């Protein structure tokens, strides 16, 4: 058992020693999650880029049935949220805001639309929570703006 612990510690030390390892983790999470939600948002678009299709509205009326929201408004909000927030996430601009918005959206999906899909949604929620708490990382527009306009040192 002691050998296994030693191997684990050596592996962690090796991964931590890789140049830019800490910078790549948030980037990897952003590159993993953004396309999933963007693609979902684009399936909701109708003839116009920003207008939901009739099918999307029908899905919100008949299948999704969100409480307290008109199906047309819900379809519009989902289209906007799943188009704008992943785009922001992808480039790392307003990462905490975008990730938190997508975390809330995922929670709504989990609680009201597909409550049996925890195994699909938990990894997404973990990624969004991480980005909400830690930001977009060193490889993001957020970091460029922080360094340029706010003179915040990188850690």
Q: Tens digits of per-residue pLDDT, 82-102?
A: 999 999 999 999 999 999 999
What DSSP string runs through 38-65? HHHHHHTB-SSTTSB-HHHHHHIIIII-
Token pair for 44: 């909701």
> Cβ(116)–Cβ(47) under 8 Å?
no
Every domain of the chain and the residues it spans: 25-150
Q: Which residue's structure tokens are 């678009």? A: 45
Residue 142 pLDDT exceeds 80: yes
Task: Identify the CA nearest to 19 among candidates 139, 152, 149.
Answer: 139
CA-wise closest residue to 100 among 143, 131, 145:
131
Q: Tell me the two tokens of residue 60.
A: 């919100």
When pLDDT is averaged across residues 121-137 and rounded to a whole number, the result is 96
Name the CA radius of gyration of the chain, rounded: 19
Alpha-carbon distance of 51 to 67, in angstroms, equals: 21
As a dihedral over the C-alpha atoms of residue 61, residue 65, residue 114, residue 90, rounded to 10 degrees, the angle is 70
Residue 80 pLDDT grade (very low, low, confident, very high; cuts 50, 70, 90): very high
pTM of the model: 0.85
Can you give the pLDDT at residue 2? 80
Q: What is the mean pLDDT of the chain?
A: 92
Angstrom distance (rounded) from CA 60 to CA 43: 13
Rounded to 5 degrees, what angle do the CA atoms 129, 134, 139 make?
115
**What SS3 class is residue 67?**
coil
Which pLDDT score is estimated for 23? 80
Assess whether pLDDT exceeds 90 at residue 32: yes
């Amino acid at each position: 058992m002691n050998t296994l612990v030693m191997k684990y510690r050596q592996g962690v030390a090796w991964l931590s020693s890789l140049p830019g390892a800490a910078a790549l983790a948030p980037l990897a999470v952003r590159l993993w999650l953004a396309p999933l939600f963007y693609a979902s948002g684009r399936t909701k678009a109708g003839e116009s880029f920003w207008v939901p299709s009739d099918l999307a509205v029908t899905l919100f009326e008949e299948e999704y049935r969100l409480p307290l929201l008109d199906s047309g408004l819900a379809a519009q909000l989902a289209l906007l949220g799943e188009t704008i927030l992943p785009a922001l996430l992808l480039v790392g601009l307003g990462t905490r805001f975008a990730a938190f918005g997508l975390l809330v959206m995922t929670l709504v999906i989990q609680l009201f639309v597909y409550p049996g899909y925890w195994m699909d949604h938990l990894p997404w929620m973990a990624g969004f929570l991480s980005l909400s708490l830690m930001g977009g990382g060193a490889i993001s527009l957020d970091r460029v703006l922080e360094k340029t306009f706010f003179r915040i040192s990188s850690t």
